Amino acid sequence: MTRNHQEKPWCRYADDGIAHCKTRRSAEKLLADLNQRFVECGLELHPEKTKIVYCQDGKRKGCHQNTKFKFLGYEFRRRMVKSSKGRMFLSFTPAISNEAKKDINKTIRRTGVRNRSDLSLEEVALWLNPMLNGWINYYGRYNKSALKPVMRQINYTLIKWCTRKYKRFRYSKARACQYLIKTFEMRPYLFAHWKRGIQGSFV
């Protein structure tokens, strides 16, 4: 890239990388050069992950086989965004991928926090907040609203915790939900996602 493609923006993390080309012809030339270079080094480009992607948006309206890709837990594709003036338009932007959402949900389930009735709500917050802050800091950098379904699942986990912690909620998720809503209204800084304004819903 340094010797032969200096004009192309690109980045790499471990064995994943992306490069931006202005035309399809330029992208095909780059792919051919990369294939050749990898062979020289005794390596091989991943046959499924390596592809040319068209950055389709409101202005680039061409039809191509690939119009989205995933990189470091983000999915880059065409989506509606709001401008600084409040106008909606189509842009090619990143947001947390579905796979990353599933990984977060799996991590929360593995903690077993919903079964820890021996803990107080404050102790649950101290346990989860470092993880929540990490996810929000990373995946919330772009299209933060895409995290809302994940945070809604966190709230659902807290509702399940309430049904195990308090006998009066044991057979009523609705009452446990109302309890959490009141807690959120009174203590909006207790959990990281509440504090950061992407609390999601409680139902």
Tokens of 57: 């948006």
pLDDT at 203: 63
pTM score, whole prediction: 0.86
Query: What does DSSP assign to residue 86?
Result: S
Q: Please tell me the distance from the alpha carbon of residue 123 to that of residue 71, in angstroms, as a whole number.
A: 35
pLDDT digits (tens, 9 = 90+) for 34-63: 999 999 999 999 988 899 999 998 888 888
The residue count for the chain = 203
State the pairing for strand pair 88-96/74-82.
antiparallel
For helices 121-139 and 98-111, the axis angle rounded to 10 degrees is 160
Beta bridge partners of 12: 17
Residue 201 has pLDDT above 70, yes or no: yes
